[in-house]
Amino acid sequence: MLKILLTGGNGMLGRTIVRILSDRFIIIPTDLPEVDITQPESVGNALMKYAPDAVIHCAAMTAVDKCESERELAFLINEYGSAVVAEVCRKFSVRLLAISTDYVFRGDRDEAYSENDIADGGRTVYGQSKFAGEEAVRRIYPENSLICRISWLYGFGGPSFVHSMISLADGSRNELKVVADQRGNPTSALAVARKLGELLEYPELTGIIHLTCEGEAAWCDFACEIFRQMGVTQKVTACTSAEFPRPAPRPANSCLKKDKLREYGLTPMPQWQDALSEFIALEFGK
């Protein structure tokens, strides 16, 4: 049984990986204060202690708006932390799966982005710091690392858009205004965890791969589907991003193509509506 060490094990994706993959792998979730990815000695001690076959690097600063006001911290965690993990994995010859994001793209074109499209970090500190982290992984450990981009993620316990919408639909609001001019691939952490488990069985795969669910939606479409599957009556009114200004600009297009999954002959990601249905059944008993 392969032994897999997680960074950011207390996060939403980390918790899901533990829940979904523990029957196939020995999963070792780590997080602060035990393992600090910005401290090489801390990461090195963890790999010496646990001797994993692979590392799934989930730890990151993902608060998009907070990254705008705390740029130095964002780059410390997302760039330097990724460089530290890559360097230690290289030192111990341990395979690395590094989680990244759609925010590495500008999100200003009509078609979805493939793994072969040029990324530049986009327009946010979060995207720029995550792209810098990708570059660090590619520079330091290209021979045995795989960068896995995800977006619009939701999972057990949240926080997520799914949990927020269900909380807001408490009967106290006649309508909910939800953005209609941003599109993406709503993606279940369950689906991502399963796919990461599949990728662990293919040690020869390196480079970049996209792991979002199939199909596209605007946030308002996503909200309507959540309420439909939950059996909740809630009026949803489409609005523009300009009506909800945020410190960090959101990409208008977060859609990612899964060309590499098809190229490698791997099973496709599920349709987003099907993945949502499974999640709602497990999380809310619907």
Q: What is the DSSP letter of 79?
A: I
Rounded distance, CA 23 to CA 222, Å? 31
Bond before 33 cis per omega within 30 degrees: yes
- 103 in active site: no
Q: Which residues fall within 8 angstroms of residue 159, CB to CB, at 6 or more apart?
A: 12
Query: Tokens representing 209?
Result: 């791969």
The number of C-alpha atoms within 13 Å of 69 and in the hemisphere containing its C-beta is 5
Dihedral in degrees, nearest 10, Cα atoms 32, 147, 102, 14: -30
Catalytic residue among 103, 113, 126, 141: 126
| 147: Cβ contacts below 8 Å, ≥ 6 apart | 98, 100, 134, 137, 138, 207, 208, 209
Long-range contact list for 33-42, CB < 8 A, 24+ apart? 35/7, 37/7, 37/77, 37/81, 37/82, 37/84, 37/85, 38/76, 38/77, 38/80, 38/81, 38/84, 39/84, 40/84, 40/87, 40/88
**Cα separation values, 248 from 68, 70, 124, 151, Å:** 6, 12, 6, 16
Residues marked active site are found at 126
